[in-house]
Structures are given as structure tokens and as C-alpha cells.
């Protein structure tokens, strides 16, 4: 049993490319991805039941909270801001080796493209089968292929002004790519040697972008302008982390309370429409800082299963929507659930199991191998290797 557990942990643990793994960050990724997963599972249940509640105050509240799960995406954006800022900030704050821009962009391609292109290809093929082969929509093939091409190049948002028709979840990945391109420039803010001034500039930018470009529903913002506050929060977190937060050994229960309140507030403030675009970035920052300062929170987000789920978040994000949509058919063929809070929770829990299981398999087979920075060279060497000469005794 222990050997099986160790094997699963080894297969499902994320690799890092030469940098120290920060387990708290992967733990925070788990909150982000589970929020999105539950959000889409709840929406799937609502598609069947017409978003009807059972009339109880609890079910109405539950539906309201579940509808805020899309705010897992801003949680992701803040983590991306942190991860990409750290190596550039280290150069300015501690004089460490500056990342090679060539390696930086090449790594983004070799690390993120294979799982993404594989998923898009499967989704496009599914549409071709459903619409062209089965549905006999003769004019659908060019339409599918043009949307597929735009999505592969991360240009669907810009060209069509809406989320990808191949994979709706790709809209946020296109925002991420915009930040990847800008990160080497934006992180020059760390060249400002005065911490107070540096942080004041980042904070002012967060307020300005929140006020002028913030959107209350994440998917309605299809450019980096709309989500800049969250990436900038990641820059502030990187600043704190590299100037003592990451080394702090004094943990406090008060930080646990503050962290729980801040992370819960991300969803509660949205649920009750309390200035979410202005307040959410600061709640995310407070919650993330508290994870490094608190005792219980730090233990929770360093807990191995939580870290593993967070490490698989990219694959889960790519596939969960499709798996949940497929799961709905057999589930509702077997059961005829009422639109009640307990059936809603049963469905979310049931749908999450295959979504996580399928994602775990695809993570191990597709994404995890690409976490090795040298995988393209190894693959090329395997393809071009010369066959061994026959044995002399043959």
C-alpha cells in the first residue's frame, strides 16, 4: 500500500526546471482550480435543472457562492504574476543571474504548448465528428479550422472578440500569454531600489487598472488590461517573498484567521457584489501573504495531496470542462435528481471524480514529461537514434 502511494506521488508530482519548488504556491493553485472545477460542475447541474433552487435559503446561498467559482481564474493570474516575477526580481534585488530571454520564451513554448495543442486538437476533432461527419454541416469544417488556428496561436480573443469556440477555457490562457510577453518589461519595476517607492508604484497601478479596466465577470475581460491588477498582485507578493516573507519562520494563528477570511472574502465579496473589482486584488494578496505567515494555513497548503492537485492544475483546467460535460449524460440517465442543495452537492462531488481522474492520467502521460526542459532534445535523440548493429552471434 505504501509502495503504491509512493508510486502515485512520484507520477503525479510536478517537476521544476532548476528552481526550488515552493509547495505553498502549488497548494494555492489547488484552491484556484477546485474553485473553477466546482463552478463548472454546478453550472452543468444548473443546465439540467434550469438553475432552479429548492426554495430554501441555504440552496439559494449555495448557488450564489458556487456561481463565484470563476474567481479561481484571478487567483491563477496572481500566482502567474508571482512565478514569472521571481527570477527577474531576483536579478534586481539580489544580483542573481538574469534569466535568458531566449530560454525564457523557449521554455514557455516547450512547457505549455504540447498539452494545450493536444487538447485543442482533440476538441476540434470532436467538433468535426459531431458537426461535419454526424451532423452533415458541410460548411462547418472551414469554420472549425479557422477557430482552431486562432486558438492555437492564442489570438482568438483578439480576432473574434470572444472566448474560443474550440475550448471556452482558452480565453484565460490567451491572457496569460499576453502577460508572459510583457513580464520581462514590467518586472523592471524591481530595479527601483527603494522598497516603499517600488511597492507604492505597483499598488497605484493595481488601483488604476482596477478602477478603469476591471471587470466583475472575469470572462468579460479578454485583454491583459482587464486582469492586470491580479498579475501585479503577484509582483507585490514576489517582492515580499524575496525580501523576507519566504524565509520567515515565525508563524502566527492570527495570520491563519486573516488568511481564511481574505480567501473566503474573494468569493463572498463577489457573491454579494461588494466592489469585487476594487477589493478582490487586495484580498488575494492578503490571503497569499497569510499562507506564508500562518501556521495552519501553511501546513494545509503544503499538504501533499493539496500540492499534487495544484501541480496538475494546468491539465485539470484544460480537460475538466469536457469531462464534466460528458459525465452529465450517464449520470442523468441513471438518476433523476431534484434541484435541491443535496443533489447539487452530490453531482458536483460525483462529476469531480472523473474530471480529476482523467486529468491525472493525462498529466502523467502528456504534461509531466514536458516539465523536463530537455524533453525536445531527448525526443529528437530518440527519433534519430541509429539502430544497434546486429550481434556477431546472430
Q: Render pLDDT for 142-162 as a digit per residue (tens, 0 to 9).
A: 999 999 999 999 999 999 999
Mean pLDDT (the chain) is: 91
Q: Extract the C-alpha cell encoding 151.
A: 486558438
Residue 234 has pLDDT above 70, yes or no: yes
Determine which of 7-16, 328-337, 342-351 has the lowest per-residue pLDDT on average.
7-16
Q: What is the DSSP letter of 252?
A: B
Q: What is the DSSP letter of 244?
A: T
pLDDT band at 178 (very low <50, low <70, confident <90, very high): very high
Average pLDDT over residues 222-251: 90
What pLDDT sits at residue 390?
Answer: 62
Residue 229 has pLDDT above 50, yes or no: yes
Please answer whether residues 291 and 27 qualify as being in contact, where contact means their C-beta atoms are separated by less than 8 angstroms: yes
Range from 120-124, 336-340, 370-374 that averages highest in pLDDT: 120-124
CA distance 333 to 325: 13
Q: Render pLDDT for 55-85 as a digit per residue (tens, 0 to 9).
A: 789 988 999 999 999 999 999 999 999 999 9
Q: What is the DSSP letter of 190?
A: G
Average pLDDT over residues 118-139: 93
Kindly give the residue spans of alpha helices, DSSP state H, lying in the chain. Answer: 2-12, 23-49, 57-66, 72-94, 101-127, 140-152, 156-160, 170-186, 195-213, 224-242, 253-271, 276-293, 296-301, 304-311, 313-334, 341-362, 368-370, 375-384
Q: What is the dihedral of CA 169, 175, 176, 180, to 10 degrees?
A: 150
In this structure, how many other beta carbons lie within 10 angstroms of the beta carbon of residue 259? 24
What pLDDT sits at residue 394?
Answer: 43
Please answer whether residues 30 and 307 qualify as being in contact, where contact means their C-beta atoms are separated by less than 8 angstroms: yes
Residue 217 has pLDDT above 60, yes or no: yes
Residue 44 has pLDDT above 70, yes or no: yes
Q: Give every CB contact of residue 132 below 8 A, 6+ residues apart in sequence.
A: 138, 140, 141, 144
pLDDT band at 272 (very low <50, low <70, confident <90, very high): very high
Q: Report the predicted TM-score, pTM, of the whole model to 2 decimal places.
A: 0.93
Residue 259 has pLDDT above 70, yes or no: yes
Residue 166 has pLDDT above 70, yes or no: yes
**220: helix, strand or coil:** helix
Domain-wise residue ranges, the chain: 18-384
What pLDDT sits at residue 225?
Answer: 97
What pLDDT sits at residue 16?
Answer: 66
Average pLDDT over residues 306-334: 95
Determine which of 217-221, 269-273, 385-389 has the lowest per-residue pLDDT on average.
385-389
Give the end-to-end CA distance of the chain in Å, rounded to a whole number: 44
What pLDDT sits at residue 97?
Answer: 86
Residue 127 has pLDDT above 80, yes or no: yes
CA distance 227 to 172: 10
- Exposure on the CB side of residue 321, measured as CA atoms within 13 A: 16
Q: What is the DSSP letter of 71?
A: G
Average pLDDT over residues 289-298: 94
Percent of residues, the chain, with pLDDT higher than 90: 77
Q: What is the dihedral of CA 131, 132, 136, 142, to 10 degrees?
A: 100
Residue 247 has pLDDT above 80, yes or no: no
Please answer whether residues 215 and 261 qualify as being in contact, where contact means their C-beta atoms are separated by less than 8 angstroms: no
Rg (CA), the chain: 22
Average pLDDT over residues 365-378: 90
What pLDDT sits at residue 11?
Answer: 72
CA distance 368 to 148: 24
Percent of residues, the chain, with pLDDT higher than 70: 92
What pLDDT sits at residue 13?
Answer: 77
**213: helix, strand or coil:** helix
Average pLDDT over residues 298-318: 95
CA distance 42 to 328: 11
CA distances in angstroms from 23 to 15, 154, 184, 219, 241, listed in the order given: 12, 29, 24, 28, 14
Average pLDDT over residues 227-245: 95
Please answer whether residues 317 and 32 qualify as being in contact, where contact means their C-beta atoms are separated by less than 8 angstroms: no
Q: Render pLDDT for 348-370 as a digit per residue (tens, 0 to 9).
A: 999 999 999 999 999 999 999 99
CA distance 198 to 74: 23
What's the residue count for the chain? 394
Question: Cell 538574469 maps to which residue?
Answer: 98
What pLDDT sits at residue 386?
Answer: 63
Average pLDDT over residues 180-203: 96
Residue 341 has pLDDT above 60, yes or no: yes
CA distance 236 to 364: 33
CA distance 394 to 391: 5
- Exposure on the CB side of residue 205, measured as CA atoms within 13 A: 20
Please answer whether residues 206 and 195 qualify as being in contact, where contact means their C-beta atoms are separated by less than 8 angstroms: no
Q: What is the DSSP letter of 391?
A: P
Residue 240: is it exposed, middle or buried by C-beta count within 10 angstroms (0-12/13-18/19+)?
buried
Amino acid at each position: 500500500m505504501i509502495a503504491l502511494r509512493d508510486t502515485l506521488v512520484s507520477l503525479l508530482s510536478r517537476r521544476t526546471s532548476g528552481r526550488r519548488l515552493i509547495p505553498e504556491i502549488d497548494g494555492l493553485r489547488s484552491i484556484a482550480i477546485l474553485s473553477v472545477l466546482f463552478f463548472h460542475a454546478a453550472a452543468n447541474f444548473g443546465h439540467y435543472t434550469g438553475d432552479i433552487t429548492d426554495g430554501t435559503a441555504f440552496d439559494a446561498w449555495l448557488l450564489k457562492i458556487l456561481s463565484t467559482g470563476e474567481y479561481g481564474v484571478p487567483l491563477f493570474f496572481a500566482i502567474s504574476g508571482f512565478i514569472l516575477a521571481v527570477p527577474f526580481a531576483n536579478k534586481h534585488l539580489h544580483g542573481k543571474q538574469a534569466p535568458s530571454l531566449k530560454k525564457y520564451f523557449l521554455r514557455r513554448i516547450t512547457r505549455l504548448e504540447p498539452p494545450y495543442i493536444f487538447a485543442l486538437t482533440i476538441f476540434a476533432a470532436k467538433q468535426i465528428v459531431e458537426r461535419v461527419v454526424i451532423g452533415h454541416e458541410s460548411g462547418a469544417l472551414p469554420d472549425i479550422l479557422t477557430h482552431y488556428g486562432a486558438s492555437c496561436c492564442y489570438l482568438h480573443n483578439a480576432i473574434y472578440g470572444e472566448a474560443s469556440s474550440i475550448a471556452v477555457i482558452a480565453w484565460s490562457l490567451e491572457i496569460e500569454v499576453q502577460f508572459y510577453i510583457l513580464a520581462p518589461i514590467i518586472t523592471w519595476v524591481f530595479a527601483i531600489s527603494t522598497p516603499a517607492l517600488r511597492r507604492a508604484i505597483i499598488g497605484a497601478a493595481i488601483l488604476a487598472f482596477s478602477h478603469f479596466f476591471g471587470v466583475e465577470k472575469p470572462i468579460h475581460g479578454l485583454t491583459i488590461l482587464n486582469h492586470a491588477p491580479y498579475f501585479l498582485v503577484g509582483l507585490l507578493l514576489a517582492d515580499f517573498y524575496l525580501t523576507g516573507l519566504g524565509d520567515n519562520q515565525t508563524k502566527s494563528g492570527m495570520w491563519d484567521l486573516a488568511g481564511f477570511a481574505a480567501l473566503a472574502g474573494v468569493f463572498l465579496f463577489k457573491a454579494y457584489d461588494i466592489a469585487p473589482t476594487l477589493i478582490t486584488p487586495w484580498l488575494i494578496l492578503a490571503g497569499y501573504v497569510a499562507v506564508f505567515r500562518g501556521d495552519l494555513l501553511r501546513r494545509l497548503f503544503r499538504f501533499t495531496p493539496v500540492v499534487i492537485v495544484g501541480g496538475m492544475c494546468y491539465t485539470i483546467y484544460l480537460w475538466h470542462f469536457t469531462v464534466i460535460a460528458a459525465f452529465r449524460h450517464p449520470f442523468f440517465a441513471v438518476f433523476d435528481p431534484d434541484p435541491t442543495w443535496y443533489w447539487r452537492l452530490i453531482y458536483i462531488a460525483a462529476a469531480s471524480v472523473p474530471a480529476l481522474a482523467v486529468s491525472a492520467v493525462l498529466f502523467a502521460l502528456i504534461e509531466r514529461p514536458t516539465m523536463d526542459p530537455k524533453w525536445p532534445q531527448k525526443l529528437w535523440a530518440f527519433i534519430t537514434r541509429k539502430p544497434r548493429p546486429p550481434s556477431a552471434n546472430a
